[in-house]
Amino acid sequence: MGDLLVVGAGPAGMAAAWRAAQNGLRVCVVDDNPAAGGQIWRGGPPEAQVWFERIRSVDVEMINGARVFEQLRTGTLLAETASGVSELSYKSLVLATGARERFLPFPGWTLPNVMGAGGLQALVKTGLPIEGKRIVVAGSGPLLLAVAAYLCGHAANVLMIAEQAPAMQLARFAVGLFSKRMQAFELKRQLKDVPYRSSCWVSEAHGTEKLEAVTLVRGQKRWQVDCDYLACGFHLVPNVELAELLGCVLERGSVKVDDFQQTTVANVYSAGETTGIGGLELSLVEGEIAGLAAAGRHDAARELFAVRDKQRKFAELLNRTFALRDELKHLPTPQTIVCRCEDVTLERLQRHTSWRAAKLQTRCGMGPCQGRICGGAVEFLFGWRAESVRPPVLPVRIDSLIRK
Amino acid sequence: MSETVTLAVNGIAVEMPVGSLVSAAILKTGTYAFRRSVTGEPRGPLCGMGICFECRVTIDGEQHCRSCQTVCRNGMDVRTDG
C-alpha cells in the first residue's frame, strides 16, 4: 500500500504526485491512457518537458493503461488493465480525472469524420496524417484556437474557425489572455490565414456514409462548405464520475473542494479540471496544493493560494466568455440522435420530464459511454442532470467483475 | 526517421510510427466507418480519449476494443464492423 494514490496523469495529477513525492510520500499514479501527460500533454510536447523531468526526478510509481472502475472498500480502488484487475490501496487520494469535450447534437453530427476538436487533435498526435485535409473547426472555447493552430502546424487546410460566442465577449477574453501571457500572439501568428468567425456555428453536417460538407450559420447568413473533417466541441465538462462514486459532493457540476483541494470526503483531494474548467496553469497549481496538503505541508500549500486565486479569476472569465447561447438548443430536429450509444432521438426524449424517466423509457445514457457524451448535451437541452453513479463507472470485462 | 510498426486493417497492411494508436491507423487506410450503431448507422471516432466508445473494433479476435486507447503493434489484426 502506498501513501498517496493519484488518479489521472495529466498536469494536475503530475503536479500533485511530484509535490507529494518530494515531501516523502510513497506515490502511485494510475492513468487510463497508454502514456502520461493527459490530453493536453499527449505525446510529451516540449513545453511539458520540465514537468516530465520533475516526475522522473522523484520516486513515483506510474501505472498506465489502467481504468479505475470501482471502489472495493474505503481506501482501495479497483483498476482494469490489459492483463487483469489491480487493487490500488491508499491513505490519501487525489482525483485528477480531468475533463472531456462537451458535444451538442445537430443534424448529421453522428457521421464518421465529425469529431471533437480535441478528438481530432488526439488522432493527429497519435499518427493520423492530416496534410492537405480540409477541416472546419467549430463549437466554442479556447481549445478551438489551440487545435486549429496545431492542425495548421501539420499542414492541414483549416478552412475556418466558427466560435458560437459573440465578438463582444471574446474581446474581453482576449484582453484577459493578453495580460496573462504572450500565448495569444503565438496563436495569432500560426492562424494568420484562417478566418475566425464569432457568433457562428455549424447547423448541419451533410453526407451519407461520411462527412462531405457542413452548413454554417452566422446571423441571417447560411452557407455550405465542403470538408473532410469537422472538429467540433463546445468547451469542456469535468469528469466527475469517480468522485461521485466515492461520495464527493459536487457544486455546479464540479467536485467541491476546500482551500487545500480536499473534497467533502476525508483524505480525498481533487485538482485540475475535475474541480472546474480553468486551464493548464490552474490545474498545475491546484495539483501542487493537493500534493503538498496530502503530505501535511499546509504551510507550503498556503504559499500557492495567491497564484491559484489569480488563475481562478481567469477561469471565471473563461467560463463567462464561452457560455453557450440558447440558439444552440434549437439545432437538433426531432429526428436528430442525442444518445449515440442507444440511438435515442430528440423527440423520444422530449416526451419525458427527467433524466431518470428518459433513461428508463428510452435507454438514453445507458450504453457503453454511460451518459458521458449525451449527458452534457441533455443537461444543456433539458436541464437534467444524472442523479447517481453506480459501479462500474466504466464498462469492464465480465471477469473483472467476477474476480471481486 | 523514427521506427515503424506494420499492422493489418481489414487485411490491408498499414505502416505506422512506433507509439501510434490503432484509431489513427484505421483512418489512414481510408476506413472511416469503424462500426455500425444499434440502428445501423456508420460511426467513427468522436472523442479520441476513450470516453465515447464509438471507435471500438475487433483486435486480434477480441471484440469491443477502443482503438483510440490501443497502441499499434507489429502483426496486429484489426477488423472494423462498419
Q: Which chain A residue has the Cα nearest residue B26? A: A128
| Span A206-253, pLDDT tens digits | 999 999 999 999 999 999 999 999 999 999 999 999 999 999 999 999
For residue A116, list chain B residues with Cβ-Cβ distance below 8 A: 46-48
Which of B9, B51, B73 should we substitute to test contact with A (largest number of A Cβ atoms within 10 Å)? B51
- List the grid coordinates of A233: 466541441
At residue A144's C-alpha, the angle toward residues A287 and A251, to 5°, is: 45
Cβ contacts (< 8 Å) between A342 and chain B: which residues? 38
| Level-2 CATH architecture, domain A4-101+237-318 | 3-Layer(bba) Sandwich (3.50)
Q: b/e for A336-372, b at 16 or more Cβ within 10 A?
A: bbbbbbbbbbbebbeebeebeebbeebbbbbbbbbbb
Domain ranges of chain B: 4-79
Cis peptide upstream of residue A392 (ω within 30 degrees of 0): yes
Q: How far apart are CA A93 and CA A76, in angstroms?
A: 10
Residue A120 pLDDT: 98
Which pLDDT value is given to residue A2?
83
Residues 16-45 of B with CB under 8 A from A: 16-17, 19-21, 23-25, 27-28, 32-34, 37-39, 41-45
Q: Which residues of B touch A120 (CB under 8 A)?
A: 48
pLDDT score of A403: 66
Which one of A101, A124, A341 has the shortest CB-CB distance to B53?
A341
CA A305 – CA A308 distance, rounded (Å): 5
CATH of segment(s) B4-79: 3.10.20.440
Query: Contact A113/B21, CB-based, under 8 Å?
Result: no
Output the nine-digit C-alpha cell for A81: 488493465
Q: Which residues of A touch B46 (CB under 8 A)?
A: 103, 114-116, 119, 340, 373
Superfamily of domain A114-234: FAD/NAD(P)-binding domain (3.50.50.60)
pLDDT of residue A189: 76
Contacts of B25 in chain A (CB under 8 A): 127
DSSP chain B: ---EEEEEETTEEEEEETT-BHHHHHHHTT----EE-TTS-EE--SSSSSSS-TTEEEETTEEEEEGGG-B--TT-EEE---
Which candidate from A34, A112, A128 shows the least CB-CB separation from B24?
Answer: A128
Domain positions in chain A? 4-101+237-318, 114-234, 332-382
Query: What confidence score (pLDDT) does residue A400 get?
Result: 85
With cell 462537451, the residue in question is A102
- For chain A, residues with pLDDT lower than 50 are none
For an interface test with A, which of B4, B5, B6, B21 has the most A Cβ atoms less than 10 Å from its Cβ?
B21
pLDDT number for residue A349 = 96
Residue of A nearest to B70 (CA): A34
Instruction: Please state the ipTM of this predicted complex.
Output: 0.96
Write out the E strands in A186-298: 196-197, 200-206, 213-218, 221-226, 229-234, 236-238, 250-251, 254-255, 268-270
Beta strand A99-101 with A236-238: parallel, antiparallel or unpaired? antiparallel
